[in-house]
Chains A and B, each alone.
Chain A
Amino acid sequence: MEHTITAGTAPSLTAETAPPARPRVSRRSLVPYVLIAPGVIWMLVFLVLPILMMVYVSFWTQTTFAIKPILTTRSWVNFFSSTTYVASLWTTLRIWLIVLAATLVVGYPTALFVGLFVRNKTLSTVLLVLCVIPFWTSFLIRVVAWRPMLGEQGAINIILRSLHLIQHPISALLYTELSVVIGMTQIYCVFMVGPIAFMLSRIDPNIIEAARDLGAGFWRIFARIILPLSMPGVVVGAIFVSVMVLGEFATSAALSGRKVNMLGNIILTQVGSLKWAFAAVVGVVLTIVMGIVVSLFLRIVDLRREL
């Protein structure tokens, strides 16, 4: 572009007055770097360096009260030889998969309703805002609010008992893995609903009408048209939910009575007892797991093409 313009105007100018093309071009070409610099610096200082530091610290030597930068694999060996810690890795993966499935099961139909069946833009915006309303209170309050819901003297047990559906309160509702899953599903569901509803609302209603006119029934249209067109939303939602659930510690601590230990909880206790090297090991493991999960999701859909 630059070259054509310069070439086109050159004949009308003498050699002295013709502006030198090179400096202008090179000053222009600096602009993108200037634009990207703050972001790159921010990411380097607050993301890349800490991660490298975390990897480095995970190989430091940890004694009871101190940590020395002498490289060793002891913390790593400790992590993978301890049944408690490996079990917590599995717990993390199990809860992640269950919560992911639950948010999808609850979230997809909701998104289908908000994004596709509600054709009034105002109404669908209002419905999406309703989904976000719980976020107006703090995260911890939302988590703790599940206790009076699920407890033995909680709302659900009271209702079930007054309906004479049960004789004795169900104690499995609170301070179990179930309560953790329920709490997380409620908190993270909206991150699934949002992206899916967005993709669904972009589907041209004529496309669905055309499919119907060609004789396809609802399930067929759903499977062949609606679901494939909403996949980018599902993938984005799944990445949101996965990253947040894998790093969770507060919900599992508050709703399991510290019985369910995810990797996030381990990090917290290790940092609390100043076991920096060991906390770094868990952090690296968690980061690797998230990296694998996100890259697997990105394999499903070419997001850059779809969005």
Chain B
Amino acid sequence: MADDLVLDGVTKRYGALTPLDRISVTIPGNTYVSLLGPSGSGKTVLLRVIAGFEAPDAGSVRLGGRRLDGMAAHLRGIGFVFQNYALFPHLSVRDNIGFGLASRAVEPVRDPAALRRRVDAMIALVGLEGLGERGVHQISGGQRQRVALARTLVTEPRLVLLDEPLGALDANLRTRMRGELRRIREQLGVTFLHVTGSDTEALAIGDQVIVLDRGTIAQHDRPDAVYNRPNSAQVARFLNCYNIFPGRRDGARFVSEIAAFPLAESVARGDGAGREPAYCIRQDLIEIRAADAPVASGEAALPAEFIASEYSGASIAYFFRTARGETVEVEAHLSHRRPVELEPQRRYTLAWDAGRAVVFA
């Protein structure tokens, strides 16, 4: 593909720290890729290396076959949307958006009419009509986000890097901007590489999801594949929707400190096994039963004491404590089940289809 971004063995070190450790990945053109990782996983550093704000210590970065490392940031054809937007505080919305076109060293747009036309088109694309003459302090956070995006997009980059672009917005606006970002990207046909620390945002927005863990790529797949078949216990942990029990495999069973779970034939085993043996079961696959209820064959079960529940509209989260003091979370979607009344400090049996577990052993 003409616009593939290819990283090959990209490494970055700061003294004893290695925020990027031999990252090799291919990001196809015209795609929305989300980059998920906890803080300190190296995601911002990776973005800054691709953008050209930092030089890698080893490895190469190519865009459309052209080698980028060593090239100045503004010559790479890559746009960068900053976490705090970094808008020019003294310029109007229009001048912010037009800055790149009017001020760039290479092929600046000097003709005021042409500049105006292109800025107007961009204002329309991001939905800021009528706000062009406002100062950037006279608009809302969501609108500022759009200015930051428009300011980058107007220079027609082939790849846009977004560093936690929705982090400063409230939850409601964040959800709306996800759809907006996808629409804008599809309209332009460029690649968006969107860094986020939020698992739901990463899954919702990306055509592909890259999970970054301590400077290496833990998984790179479609969102549903990452969600249903995480590569490692660590990825499962980032997804925030798995109960993870460390332990080891013993024949047809997985033995953890709290219980032994039968392993079904169809059980999914991650490829990234070996690093950290663990038994992972999604929170919404667990069923709550009375303590003495029978457990069918092919099911795994775990006795636990109910602590508390948390109601959040469409779903409810129940928190249990095992005999060893570990917390187990069960999520029930209220469109499928009615909320059950549980008695605190009482023991229940948590059961699930053993075939739905993800096991690393």
Contacts and interface: CB of A to CB of B under 8 A. Distances in A.
A173 to B, nearest CB: 42
B151 to A, nearest CB: 7
Interface string B42-84: 0000000001110000000000000000000111001110101
A94 interface: no
Nearest to A217: B105
A215 B74 contact: yes
A209 B47 CA distance: 14
Interface in A65-83: none
Contacts of A216: 74, 99-100, 103-105
Q: SS class of chain A's interface: helix, strand, loop or mixed?
A: helix
A214 B86 contact: no
Contacts of A217: 105
B105 A214 contact: no
B155 A220 contact: no
A220 B105 contact: yes
B86 A210 contact: yes
Interface stretch (A84-92, A223-231, A263-271, A284-292): A223-231
B152 interface: yes
A213 B74 contact: yes
Interface string B97-119: 00110011110000000000000
B251 interface: no
Contacts of A225: 88
Given A220-B105, A229-B90, A212 B74 contact: yes
A214 B84 contact: no
Q: Chain B interface: which size bin? A: 20 to 34
B274 interface: no
B90 A214 contact: no
B89 interface: yes
Contacts of A206: 82, 84, 86
A204 interface: yes
A215 B106 contact: yes
A212 B82 contact: no
Nearest to B152: A214
A214 B82 contact: no
Contacts of A220: 103, 105
Most B C-beta atoms less than 10 A away, residue of A210, A220, A225: A210
Contacts of B90: 228-229
Interface residues of A, number: 18
A249 to B, nearest CB: 39
A204 B105 CA distance: 22
Interface in B152-172: 152, 155
A210 B88 CA distance: 9
A253 interface: no
A105 interface: no
Most B C-beta atoms less than 10 A away, residue of A210, A213, A221, A229: A213
Contacts, number: 64
Nearest to B51: A213
Nearest to B154: A214
Contacts of A228: 90
A127 interface: no
A93 B191 CA distance: 60
Contacts of B99: 211, 214, 216, 224
A159 interface: no
A104 to B, nearest CB: 20
Contacts of A214: 74, 99-100, 103-104, 151-152, 155
B88 A207 contact: yes
Given A214-B152, A215-B155, A204 B103 contact: no
Contact of A213 (B73, B84, B87, B105): B73
Contacts of B75: 215
Most B C-beta atoms less than 10 A away, residue of A212, A214, A216, A228: A214
Contacts of B86: 204, 206-207, 209-210
A210 B100 CA distance: 9
A204 B106 contact: no
Kindly list the 7 A-B residue pairs having the minimum CB-CB distance in the complex, ordered from nearest.
Answer: A215-B104, A214-B100, A206-B86, A215-B74, A216-B103, A210-B86, A217-B105
Interface of B: 51-53, 73-75, 78-80, 82, 84, 86-90, 99-100, 103-106, 151-152, 155
14 contacts: A204-B84, A206-B82, A206-B84, A207-B89, A209-B53, A210-B151, A213-B51, A213-B80, A214-B100, A215-B74, A216-B103, A217-B105, A220-B105, A224-B88
Given A212-B73, A217-B105, 19 more contacts: A206-B82, A207-B86, A207-B89, A211-B88, A211-B99, A213-B51, A213-B74, A213-B79, A213-B80, A214-B99, A214-B100, A214-B155, A215-B106, A215-B155, A224-B88, A224-B103, A228-B90, A229-B89, A229-B90
